[in-house]
């Protein structure tokens, strides 16, 4: 899984993927402390993530393993919103 922060939304007037309730977000990958990497990707959001929230992302084949994305042309999906990261018994990120 990949860590990232929501930095924007993607709007498309047409697309070939029919997923009801899904929206696409612009994600800037980050480290476990929330430091941005300036490495961006577009991810399908089905968990209602908000701007500036840190999220967990599954990519590639794993992104197509949900009921919603099965057999769809999806390469990245947001699978969770991160509340806290504990590294070596020290909290390094907290929402």
Identify the pLDDT of residue 74.
85
| Comparison of pLDDT for 74 and 85, the residue scoring more | 85
d(CA 54, CA 93): 9
Q: Is the pLDDT of residue 6 over 70?
A: yes
d(CA 83, CA 90): 14
d(CA 4, CA 53): 8
Hey, CA dihedral for 81, 19, 73, 7, is it positive or negative? negative
Q: Among 2.60.40.10, 2.40.50.220, 2.60.40.1930, 3.90.1150.10, what is the CATH number of 2-94?
A: 2.40.50.220
Average pLDDT on 63-91 reads 88
DSSP code for 63: G
| Length of the chain, in residues | 95
Q: pLDDT-based confidence at 64, cuts 50/70/90?
A: confident
Identify the pLDDT of residue 80.
96
Entry pTM: 0.86
């Amino acid at each position: 899984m990949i860590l990232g922060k929501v930095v924007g939304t993607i709007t498309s007037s047409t697309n070939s993927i029919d997923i009801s309730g899904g929206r696409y977000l612009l994600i800037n990958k980050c480290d476990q402390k929330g430091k941005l990497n300036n490495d961006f990707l577009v991810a399908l959001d089905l968990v209602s993530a908000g701007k500036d929230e840190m999220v967990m992302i599954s990519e590639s084949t794993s992104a197509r393993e949900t009921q919603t994305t099965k057999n769809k042309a999806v390469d990245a999906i947001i699978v969770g919103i991160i509340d806290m990261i504990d590294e070596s018994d020290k909290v390094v990120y907290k929402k």
